[in-house]
């Protein structure tokens, strides 16, 4: 019905011309004292007008189907029907020029992104050298300085991972492997911070095997551990692992319920009671992106003043890889 109304609107002037012609015939009918031939002329004009209108509508509907079928196509929208007049030719030329400009803009943007990614990667690798030199120059009593230097290393590593994650062809290598070494490596990475904040760790180990990428799963676990340590002034962090899930819980300050739906958003840092901590708002976002690329689901639950629990679920990945 909508298509038909659109067609009528497009042909309104042609229909008005037919109506005016029939009105003229009717005027002649009254002027010629009701000559029956005028009625024949009116009927003939009406029949011809309806016939032409029907033929034009069939063509209009066919052309509409041809064009609308290209709306959701991927790159085929330039395969438009042959133009029927100069105006349609002009419209298609405009579309072709827009497509050409869009392709050029996209190419320029992708080139700039690659250059920026290369710069971040180069910077991250180069900055590691002076950091390593500073670590060698530190004395055993410089523990506080060592912790701050560790944080710098973490931010550098985050910048490097952001550059890697911008490329969908990142080196994901999925294979079946033991889960315990991945978790223990992440724990060792943050051992200095555990000791510095005097936090207890509860982890009994596991014998589970999972299909995953060791590096990126380790990255996700490390980011979750980093948040747990950062927002747990005292108490303990608990890690439970199985073939179904990894659950990392802390006894920290917790997250207000109104912020829970947004914690994985890029750049979100609005945690109540955490104003004293510097946060990029990227850790959990990057964790979610990395784990979802592995086919894993990540969720979070929390009670303010009691603690937070983050769950990495392997159930979805099992269905995919099996």
Mean pLDDT confidence for 8-19: 68
Q: How far apart are CA 29 and CA 26, in angstroms?
A: 5
Is 246 a residue whose pLDDT tops 80? yes
What are the residues whose beta carbons fall under 8 Å from the beta carbon of 239, sequence distance 6 or more? 183, 187, 201, 202, 203, 246, 247, 248, 249
- Whole-model pTM above 0.75? no
- The string of pLDDT tens digits covering residues 120-153 is 778 877 887 888 888 788 877 777 788 788 888 8
Read off the pLDDT band of 272 (50, 70, 90): very low
Q: How many CA atoms lie within 13 A of 320 on its CB side?
A: 16
Read off the pLDDT band of 158 (50, 70, 90): confident
69-78, 138-147, 289-298, range with greatest mean pLDDT: 289-298
Q: What is the pLDDT of residue 168?
A: 55
| Locus of tokens 């250059």 | 115
């Amino acid at each position: 019905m909508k298509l038909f109304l659109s067609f009528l609107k497009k042909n309104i002037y042609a229909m008005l011309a037919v109506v005016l012609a029939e009105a003229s015939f009717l005027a002649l009918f009254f002027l010629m004292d009701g000559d029956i031939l005028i009625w024949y002329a009116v009927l003939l004009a009406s029949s011809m007008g309806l016939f032409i209108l029907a033929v034009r509508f069939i063509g209009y509907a066919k052309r509409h189907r041809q064009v609308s079928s290209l709306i959701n196509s991927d790159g085929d929208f330039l395969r438009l029907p042959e133009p029927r007049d100069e105006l349609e030719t002009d419209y298609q030329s405009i579309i072709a020029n827009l497509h050409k400009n869009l392709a050029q803009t996209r190419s320029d943007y992708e080139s700039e992104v690659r250059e920026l990614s290369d710069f971040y990667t180069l910077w991250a690798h180069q900055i590691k050298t002076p950091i390593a030199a500073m670590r060698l120059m530190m004395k055993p009593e410089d523990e506080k300085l060592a912790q701050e230097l560790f944080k710098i290393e973490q931010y550098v590593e985050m910048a490097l991972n952001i550059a890697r994650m911008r490329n969908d062809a990142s080196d994901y290598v999925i294979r079946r492997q033991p889960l315990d070494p991945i978790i223990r490596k992440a724990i060792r990475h943050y051992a200095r911070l555990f000791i510095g904040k005097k936090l207890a760790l509860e982890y009994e180990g596991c014998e589970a095997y999972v299909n995953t990428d060791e590096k990126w799963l380790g990255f996700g676990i490390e980011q979750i551990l980093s948040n747990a340590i950062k927002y747990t002034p005292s108490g303990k962090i608990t890690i439970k692992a199985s073939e179904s899930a990894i659950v990392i819980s802390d006894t920290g300050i917790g997250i207000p319920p109104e912020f829970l739906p947004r914690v994985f958003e890029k750049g979100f840092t609005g945690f109540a009671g955490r104003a004293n901590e510097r946060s990029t708002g990227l850790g959990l976002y990057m964790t979610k992106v990395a784990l979802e690329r592995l086919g894993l689901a990540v969720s979070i639950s929390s009670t303010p003043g009691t603690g937070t629990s983050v769950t990495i679920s392997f159930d979805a990945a099992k269905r995919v890889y099996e």
